[in-house]
Amino acid sequence: MHSHQHSQLIKDTANMLGFLSCGIAQAGFLTEEAPRLTKWLNEKKNGEMAYMENHFDMRLDPSKLVDGAKSVISLSYNYFTNQSQIDSNAPKISKYAFGEDYHFVIKNKLKTFLQILKENIGDFNGRVFVDSAPVMEKAWAQKSGIGWVGKNANLITQKQGSFFFLAEIILDIPLSYDAPATDHCGTCTKCIDACPTQAIVDPYIVDGSKCISYFTIELKNEFPKEMKGKFDNWMFGCDICQDVCPWNRFSKPHQESKFNASETMLNMKASEWKELTEETFQLIFKNTAVKRTKYEGLKRNIDWLSK
């Protein structure tokens, strides 16, 4: 098998495993991203996310993660849903966290993916990643032609919008490479205009320390007083900059049953959220990404919204 046959096998396998899209880029040092990341960190736009400062070289050079890395496969996996919380006054949860934790769902698919490749290609050195290692996934996704990094710093595609997870396979075999995606944000500023905390400080630059998702998930200290009343009733994550993006009119509901929300969660009224007990929290969010905040964190968020 030659590189183009290997590449076709990879794309066929991605499709078979239910991935939304698959692109392949040549591995190499991310020269354009290096100064941007340095500036972003120096300006403390990572807030309390100290882990963003770790493994700087690994973030920019895939060969630091996989010896002899030659190719980066970028994959997207749909999580868009038409499900919604019944009570419009209830504190809100980002769509990505409705169902089972995506880390586990996608990691299992990636392990199967790698196994299929080794059975067909032979032995090679490769690793899989899903939002859990120092990989600049959006940069690689754009290089592989999946989509472009939009003004809200999310990866966007013309055909599917932006409600999807990203994952990567880095491996040490040469492949046929896709052309990078081009930007299609144009003059649109809907995401910038809609952000209640003005977290999109410049087109394409998000100050992580001002983002509602950061406040409700990452921040362990007290909320800044100046943010009072600006969370738009979000208790975990935030979808505003995606909800207003015109490209998301092309989003189609996912086909992953593990991403479906529990009826209990969807049916909870605002009053029930205010009285949330640890027992109910464990029951509803047992295997979801919301577990990351722990009960105390989610309760803090809910209390902040209702004060």
Known catalytic residue at 172: no
- Provide Rg for the chain, Cα atoms: 20
Residue 178: its H or E element: none
Check 131, 178, 239, 303 and give the catalytic one: 131
Within the chain, what is the greatest distance between any pair of CA atoms? 63
Distance CA 254, CA 160 (A): 11
DSSP 8-class letter at 161: B
Q: What residue type is 39 in one-letter code?
A: K
| CB atoms closer than 10 angstroms to residue 99 | 23
Contact 273, 91 (CB under 8 A): yes
Contact between 251 and 68 under an 8 Å Cβ cutoff? The reply is no
For residue 241, how many other CB atoms are within 10 A of its CB? Answer: 25
What are the distances in angstroms from CA 20 to CA 13, 96, 146, 225? 12, 15, 10, 41
DSSP state of 272: H
SS3 115: helix
Which active-site residues does the annotation give? 131
